[in-house]
Amino acid sequence: MFGYYLDLALRSLKRHRMLTGLMVLAIALGIGASMTMLTVLHVLSGDPIPGRSAQLYYPQLDPQDLKGMTSSKEPPDQVTLIDGQNLLRAKRADRQALMTGGSVPLMPEQSMLDPFYVEARYTSADFFPMFEAPFLYGTGWTAADDDAHARDVVIARSLNDKLFQGANSVGRSVRLAGVSWRIVGVLDKWQPNPHFYDLNTGSFAYAEQVFLPLQTMLELRLDRNGSSDCWGNSGGGAAGILPMDGCVWLQFWVELDTPAKAAAYKDFLLRYSQDQKTAGRFQRAPNVRLRNVMQWLDYNMVVPDDVRLQTGLAFGFLLVCLVNTVGLMLAKFMRRAGELGVRRALGASRRALFAQLLMEAGVVGLVGGVGGLLLAMFGLWLVRQRPSDYAALAHLDPAMLYATFVLSLCATLLAGLLPAWRACQIAPALQLKSN
């Protein structure tokens, strides 16, 4: 029966090519616009570390003075050096990492390469296993290396390709900020998007090329380029770092693999804040937060508002296209009133006619989906030409490819319900009499 209905649908669509073309065009335009923006929204709001995001948490404390205090104010987005080091040494989580971003000058050994700056991540040893950073060669440094202020470095694969032509460079040296560092690991391709563990350096399309121990960075006073927030008489330290207690400028992440551990860690943060208030460091009452990765991204509203707005407008345009499609289908189906009346007189049920007409709508949806897919690919290409930091991420993945046809088919079937129902209500006797 399916094949019979499909054959009838194809014959009918060929007989009314103008109407068929207009319906396909309307569906293709609506699907193309909506899937372009839905794909961008899907990419930007995706999970940057699937399978781990529910176990990684970002603690927040409030060490600020009383100036500007309100009862509903959120604590700062970053931590002070003292608090970060205290939480790191407490080791109350399964893993913990303290970090900040920066850039350092690199002096290549190869004479044909000029010195250049590379993006750096200053962090602690748990960073790599906690975020499951994949290694091509070697591994990260250890907690003992942190304590020893070791001059170890992990480099990105792209930098390894540039300096060592992709060879295993573990054990070799690289000169950063005028200091020789020993390469202990080379990361494979790894660029989480959004850049969730430090949104201050940019939410999308940002990747560090070198990873250095934070304690060594503090000892050498290397440059940093992240944001900072100070209060009172606090100010910047040498070489742009902020070692003073009155400034928040570091990110701190913990790994907690069960909700019970997360609840216990939040209690620990409350007790820590109360102890610091009792000691005179904190002036405010304990004010803490503990958000996992996706909650942290939602809190920071990582997805740009213009993308959400454009997605809504695109689906509004799809709705307009569907309304036009309903009108075209209604005109097409009612034009076939005589044919449908004859079929009813010969014994065809309303259910059979309804199924046949929906089959026509489904074929229009599939063809329109192909056109919509082509338009969506063109739309995503236009998005990639924009200067936005997320533009390069606008690509159609398999999930969105499947969603394109599902949306097109479902939307067209929905649009065909009313015209098909109206066409099936025609009295066959009136049509036979008029013919």
Residue 133 has pLDDT above 90, yes or no: yes
pLDDT number for residue 239: 44
Query: Distance (Å, rounded) from C-alpha 383 to C-alpha 390?
Result: 9
β-pair partners for 255: 56, 95
Residue 210 has pLDDT above 50, yes or no: yes
Query: Distance (Å, rounded) from C-alpha 198 to C-alpha 176?
Result: 22
Range 310-330 average pLDDT: 90
pLDDT number for residue 241: 47
pLDDT number for residue 353: 75
- Greatest mean pLDDT range, 44-48, 101-105, 325-329, 431-435: 101-105
Query: Distance (Å, rounded) from C-alpha 120 to C-alpha 211?
Result: 6
pLDDT number for residue 228: 82
pLDDT number for residue 294: 95
**Mean pLDDT across the chain, nearest whole number?**
86
Confidence band of 70 (pLDDT split at 50, 70, 90): low
Residue 434 has pLDDT above 60, yes or no: no
pLDDT number for residue 415: 86
Least confident of 186-195, 218-227, 352-361, 407-416: 352-361
Task: Report strand pairing: 210-213 vs 116-123.
Answer: parallel
Task: Report strand pairing: 116-123 vs 173-176.
Answer: unpaired
Residue 192 has pLDDT above 80, yes or no: yes
Whether residue 197 contacts residue 99, with contact meaning beta carbons closer than 8 Å, is answered with: yes
pLDDT digits (tens, 9 = 90+) for 217-257: 999 988 888 788 888 766 554 444 444 678 899 999 999 99
Residue 433 has pLDDT above 60, yes or no: no
Higher pLDDT, 412 or 390: 412
Range 107-113 average pLDDT: 81
pLDDT digits (tens, 9 = 90+) for 276-297: 999 999 999 999 999 999 999 9
Domain residue ranges of the chain, discontinuous segments joined by +: 2-45+304-434, 56-299
Range 83-99 average pLDDT: 96
Range 389-409 average pLDDT: 86
Query: Distance (Å, rounded) from C-alpha 408 to C-alpha 388?
Result: 29
- For 359-385, b/e burial (b = at least 16 CB within 10 A) is bbbbbbbebbbebbbebbbebbeebee
Range 402-431 average pLDDT: 79
Confidence band of 397 (pLDDT split at 50, 70, 90): confident
Confidence band of 396 (pLDDT split at 50, 70, 90): confident
- What is the percent of the chain where pLDDT is above 70? 87
Range 339-362 average pLDDT: 72
**Other C-beta atoms within 10 Å of 411: how many?**
24
Residue 53 has pLDDT above 90, yes or no: yes
- Structure pTM? 0.82
